[in-house]
Amino acid sequence: SQKIEQNSEALNIQEGKTATLTCNYTNYSPAYLQWYRQDPGRGPVFLLLIRENEKEKRKERLKVTFDTTLKQSLFHITASQPADSATYLCALEEASGGSYIPTFGRGTSLIVHP
Amino acid sequence: NAGVMQNPRHLVRRRGQEARLRCSPMKGHSHVYWYRQLPEEGLKFMVYLQKENIIDESGMPKERFSAEFPKEGPSILRIQQVVRGDSAAYFCASSPGVRRTSEAFFGQGTRLTVV
């Protein structure tokens, strides 16, 4: 089955710097990849979706890249702020018996220090 | 347009009792997914439902767990004879039904504690 790897160690950065989070996957060629943000005690919130034929997607201070050869997606937050501190999850779809299930990585915790 | 509504937000059950978790999807959404999240772990898929149909329940434990999404009313995740290992956060997500291109909208979750 699909394996999705995100760095389990928290990423600590200084306010104003660019945060870069990594999502690696194996055993599948997804049609698209999604990134979500999850705050403690709350449900995940969708941020960005990138398709397999797109190299890069941007939304305000967020940028996602998708390298299907490396089987990797990078998620960047530029000019980071303490309010960006959260856990960031990547998600791929996994085919299962004809249906497609969003499958999530464990997430990487980002801590932005003022 | 209200988001995905889950209730209760917190549920405490004694071992052996039943737990019922409810999820009302976003208006116009016909697809519902249930996930379980343990501390320090990722979201684990449990079941995928459309109205009146279970599409995929490959992530559901074989015993004690069941789910439904009736024609009218919310989706229900039911756990019978709860054990301490069932303690977790249970999240419901909905999507409009155009699969492979749609993001999932999540509820705030139900935190189940089995004592």
* pLDDT at residue A39, as a whole number: 95
- Note whether B43 contacts A: Cβ–Cβ < 8 A: yes
Which is nearest to A46 in space by CA: B27, B13, B32, B102?
B102
Give the separation between CA B25 and CA B102, rounded to whole angstroms: 14
Task: Please give the pLDDT value at position B100.
Answer: 53
Cα(B22)–Cα(B101) distance, integer angstroms: 26
pLDDT (tens digit, 9 = 90+) per residue, B1-50? 579 999 999 999 999 999 999 999 999 888 899 999 987 778 999 999 99
Q: Do A104 and B106 touch (CB under 8 A)?
A: no
Average pLDDT over chain A reads 90
pLDDT of the residue at B47: 95
Residue B98, pLDDT above cutoff 60: no
The predicted structure's pLDDT at residue A102: 81
| Top-confidence residue, A51 or A100 | A51
Is pLDDT at B101 greater than 80 in this prediction?
Answer: no
pLDDT digits (tens, 9 = 90+) for A59-77: 999 999 999 899 999 999 9
Question: Over the range A62-90, which residues count as b (16 or more CB within 10 Å of their CB) and which as e?
Answer: bbbbbeeeebbbbbbbeebeeebbbbbbb
Please name the residues between 69 and 108 in chain A that touch chain B, using a CB distance below 8 Å.
Answer: 89, 91, 93, 96-97, 99-107
Higher pLDDT: B88 or A102? It is B88
Q: Are A105 and A90 within 8 A, CB to CB?
A: yes
Helix (H/G/I), strand (E/B), else coil: A28: coil
Query: Where do we find the tokens 């109205």?
Result: B51
User: pLDDT band at B112, cuts 50/70/90?
Assistant: very high
Mean pLDDT of A12-37: 91
- Rounded to the nearest integer, the mean pLDDT of chain B is 91
| Residues of chain B contacting residue A32, judged by C-beta atoms under 8 Å apart | 100-101
Q: What local confidence, expressed as pLDDT, does residue A27 receive?
A: 78
* Residue carrying the six token digits 């530029």: A78
Residues in B touching A91 (Cβ below 8 Å): 104
Neighbour tally for A57: CB within 10 Å: 17
By C-alpha distance, the chain A residue nearest B33 is A101
